Structure 1
């Protein structure tokens, strides 16, 4: 029995499970392409502050990626889940890309890496008197994207063109997005994934594609793809709107895939309907990797019911971790990695372990334990007790 603080106040008693979930395992996934956006493991002994460059435990970070590959998932590297723009700067992200790409080659793992513009992410450049605007701002954004695209391609990784805060600040309308993305796609040596990250994940991206109206923004997004279908492997949509994703998916040119980034509706979107389905590039598949792989293997055999039976119960945990303010979901992801034994501490780059309340974290533990996510339930309980004692006095 463990005492957990409740979100509405008070304390409840919870009896943890004693055995982990038994999973079948197997080879590569075949019916869907599935990426897990992976978190980074901080170095807990580095003498840093929230404003310091990130100190990363490279051994633990790469070990976690091997864990994801071992289940048949691809790794989406240096994405939002890795705290890009929230503790991990471009220098750190570049090192992460180099190391993870080398590890992927060594073990035969699939990898795609985020390409952004966070060289320009200093607050003075975005919001101060010298904010990036007009032709000079757009030129700086283009140069930043080009630098990151070149690095990712040099490592042999697939590129994911991420939404750019700097572009959102510099662009005056849809034509600026059409011009810049067209330039980048013509320059890319291999097909890329275009990433549309909604403002619920990053408020600075409000109005992306040149309009705050999502219908208008969608038309611009589709215009970019239609002009360069041979250079777009797929799109990654993170708008938390299943209906909009399905509508967008049905309008894609033949051969362009939709990778769902919807951490609220992923089972139904991956399962699909009579007109198609979504592949996946999801932050929630960081803690859910074994279950996600088990579910997709059921799809590989055509058993949609088994897929939904396995994955549907995980949605409550995902909705909890990704509740508003959604951008702080990384805290729950790292908590679960620590409780599952994938790292030895609950420390995050930028001190982001403090971004969620103790009752929120306690609920995350209870939901994950109920799903059988912890390989060693006793270890998870012991670690949760230590956190409750230190932060809440619940010894």
Structure 2
């Protein structure tokens, strides 16, 4: 049996057995019990000038093949969002091309795709509320023209210019009025982007959530769902239980997704506190973690489809510690872990990222990802993963 070489924060090397392949199989019919999207990353051209501040040079074949792999496991793709390095290496031109190409692949594969709508094509940091609305609508209309579902992301421009909760209500009211198809609203916490402090006009989630719910209730026919990425299960359950009929909660909580997705279908000890009388008893998923764990996520939802919540927990629960490592502070560097696992799993030829972001995590941090991915059966080809990891160690002067 092959051993994995692991590197501790103290520089000490130790070894652990390589776990055999999980044997998870792709679904033969659409997943039923949950709607799940993997927020996908982008793969750079290996020889491109993908250094900090340079326009992204994307390997389109590898990037789009990864999305085809996600569809083959029954999940949808959430594209051009923070996992794709939006505002961290993916420039406006590359974002537009990614949306167009990803929407085309979704049509070819019969998959479901939603994509991020933001204001980040505007270079000026400080713009007016009217200009924020116009910028949102420009990206919204482009997304609708491509045939993708829009996810209205949190805007740094709006966070800078908004002076009150009413400013948020005004902008979202105008954007939703312009939408020709229902959208998903994305509430991104400061762990992912510190520049979004005070979003929806408040620093505490309870106050901010009231504004979000008012926005939704005023335009409920235009809102398909909400993606919450606050890394706080209590806040998500609280909002989930107050959503209007027909509006889904998509968990973006990469720390607590097992219990949030499982909901009332899993034992009480495995789920966050909830109101048993609430209409909604579980969250659907729109997660960066699921880009790193697509086969595992699919197998877990297949277990729920089969009415086997114990199997669901057996499959997915071990991944949560892995996800917490990938999303460890500073959380906005989680994209490095997603790309790293993509490389280990054979979805890209090199461990590289646009903007040079592959350098954002240390070797011991990556080693812990390897250790937890091995334990969680997240390696699609364990021998390949071990070979590539050991090569990286050797390249950095660590004997494997």
TM-score (norm 2): 0.93
Residue 23 of structure 1: aligned partner: 24
Q: Which residue in 2 is equivalent to 1:365?
A: 370
Match of 2:326 among 305, 321, 324: 321
CA distance in 2, matches of 1:313, 1:196: 26
> Which residue matches 1:342?
347
1:167 equivalent in alignment to 2:158: yes
The size of the alignment, in residue pairs, is: 383
User: Which residue of the partner structure matches residue 253 of structure 1?
Assistant: 244
**Of 76, 79, 83, which aligns to 1:77?**
79
Report the Cα distance in structure 2 between the residues aligned to 1:351 and 1:181, rounded to whole angstroms.
Answer: 34
Match of 1:383 among 382, 385, 388: 388
1:316 deviates by 0.8
Alignment partner for residue 289 of structure 2, among 284, 295, 310?
A: 284
Determine the C-alpha separation between the residues in 2 that align with 1:8 and 1:216: 43
1:242 to 223, 229, 233: 233
272-281 or 83-92, larger mean C-alpha shift: 272-281
| C-alpha distance in structure 2 between counterparts of 1:317 and 1:197, whole Å | 21
Render the CA deviation track for 1:93-134: whole Å, top value 9, x for unaligned.
1100000000110110110010001112x4xx33xxxx33xx
SS in 2 for 1:251: coil
1-structure distance, mates of 2:81, 2:40: 8
| Residue from 302, 305, 322 that aligns with 1:300 | 305
- Could you tell me which residue of structure 1 aligns to residue 180 of structure 2? 189
Deviates more, 1:156-165 or 1:367-376: 367-376
Say whether residues 1:177 and 2:177 are aligned partners. Answer: no
Distance 1:216 1:108, change over 3 A: same
RMSD: 1.2
1:272 is displaced (CA, Å) by 1.1
Q: Secondary structure at the match of 2:357?
A: helix
Q: 1:194 to 1:391 in 2, by over 3 A?
A: same
Output the CA distance in 2 between the equivalents of 1:175 and 1:318: 36
1:97-116 alignment, distance < 5 Å: 97-116=99-118
The one-character-per-residue Cα deviations of 1:65-112 (angstroms, maximum 9, x if unpaired) are: 000000000000101100000000121111000000001101101100
User: C-alpha deviations, 1:300-325, integer Å up to 9, x for none?
Assistant: 12222221121111111001100100
1:375, CA displacement in angstroms?
Answer: 2.6
How far the C-alpha of 1:9 sits from its partner, in A, is 4.0
SS where residue 121 of structure 2 aligns? helix
Q: Is the 8 Å Cα contact of residues 33 and 280 (structure 1) preserved in structure 2?
A: yes
Native 8 Å contact 2:21 2:379 kept in 1? yes
Q: CA deviation at 1:3?
A: 3.0
Q: Deviations over 1:22-70 (max 9, x none)?
A: 1133221111110000000011111343111100000000000000000
**What does residue 60 of structure 1 align with?**
62
**Native 8 Å contact 2:50 2:353 kept in 1:** no
- Which ranges of structure 2 fall in alignment gaps of 5 or more residues? 265-275
1:248-267 deviation digits (Å, cap 9, x = unpaired): 10000111110000001111
Q: Pick from 91, 95, 109: which aligns with 1:89?
A: 91
- Look up the SS of the partner of 2:343 in the other structure: helix
Deviation of 1:8 (Å):
4.3
